[in-house]
Amino acid sequence: MKRKNKSLDKLSAHLLSLGRISIAVSGGVDSMTLAVVANRVRPGCKIFHAISPAVPTSATARVKRYAENENWDLEIIDAREIDDPEYVANPANRCYFCKRNLYSTIQRLTGLTIASGTNLDDLSDYRPGLVAAQERDVVHPFVDVGIDKTTLRGIAKDLDLHDLYELPAAPCLSSRVTTGLAIDAVLLPLIAEAEEQLWDLLSTRIPLKGVRCRIRPSSVAIEIESEQEVDANSVLGVQAQKLVSEIFVTHEYHEQVTSITLEPYQRGSAFIIDTLEVKT
């Protein structure tokens, strides 16, 4: 007999008290788990997923699959943050402009309260998107009932959401671009392509936990999260660098590949908060 998940019970009761809500779903474990629980507790929740050059197609495919399996009332939208010059400038608070566009778009489409998948751990990090959420009265059910990332993953596991509970963190593709470098809508899908092909190459050879393709001024950094180090001059290291070079050069982004480095994964290494003035 499966043990009772008290956190899931608290979350379900809280969601029931909120009534019918709308949920902004990115395709990651947080918002996806929230949408599953909310719609099971109170069928008919409105689910919104924004497509964008910054959102991997794999995330959109996951949302559509769950929408079909869980009978979601899903609406695919384009918040057009890539048309916002403040977002494209890629300041330290870029996420504020992204969420401002997202929540404003959803509010124009529904009168329902908007809920996000923000969890307790997010509050200890720099999250300018939370400012945009506060401005638009977005609620955070996980935070309301004291659920952190570990507990959230436990809920997904207890619900047998097998492709979610171990899903690695996957911030938007714009997070790979060093703060202050302009966001290029054509470049972002190339980052996704590079990371997918790097995963296919590396995961069969080393115990891989994650891989990032960071865009820096005139260079690309391949960051590898693994207990086994990959030397840049090893056969595998050379293959990884060649793979990335071919992707960018084929699409005529020669300026990005004057240098390709292999480095250990460092969370948020493209983010530089003291280089630019933060405005909202």
Looking at per-residue pLDDT, the higher value among 274 and 57 belongs to: 57
Measured distance CA(115)–CA(24) in Å, rounded: 7
Quickly state the pLDDT bin for 250 (edges 50, 70, 90). Answer: confident
Quickly state the pLDDT bin for 280 (edges 50, 70, 90). Answer: very low
Percentage of the residues of the chain whose pLDDT score is greater than 90: 84
Q: Is the pLDDT of residue 141 over 80?
A: yes
> 173-264 is classed in which CATH architecture?
2-Layer Sandwich (3.30)
Q: What is the mean pLDDT of residues 166-174?
A: 89
Q: What is the mean pLDDT of residues 219-239?
A: 95
Measured distance CA(107)–CA(102) in Å, rounded: 9
Q: Given the structure tokens 């870029």, which residue do they identify?
A: 94
Percentage of the residues of the chain whose pLDDT score is greater than 70: 95
Q: Is the pLDDT of residue 1 over 60?
A: no
Q: Which H or E element spans position 243?
A: helix 235-250
Buried b (16+ CB within 10 A) or exposed e, 241-255: bebbbebbeeeebee
Q: Which fold has domain 6-158?
A: Rossmann fold (3.40.50)
Measured distance CA(113)–CA(23) in Å, rounded: 8
Measured distance CA(256)–CA(93) in Å, rounded: 24
Q: Is the pLDDT of residue 278 over 70?
A: no
Nearest to 101 by CA among 50, 46, 60: 50
Quickly state the pLDDT bin for 168 (edges 50, 70, 90). Answer: confident
- Indicate the domain borders of the chain: 6-158, 173-264
Q: What is the mean pLDDT of residues 122-129?
A: 92
Same fold, 6-158 and 173-264: no
What angle is formed at CA 43 by the lines to CA 140 and CA 7, rounded to 5 degrees? 45
Q: Is the pLDDT of residue 13 over 60?
A: yes
Quickly state the pLDDT bin for 274 (edges 50, 70, 90). Answer: low
Measured distance CA(97)–CA(280) in Å, rounded: 8
Measured distance CA(52)–CA(30) in Å, rounded: 19
pLDDT tens digits along 94-103: 999 999 999 9
Measured distance CA(28)–CA(49) in Å, rounded: 11
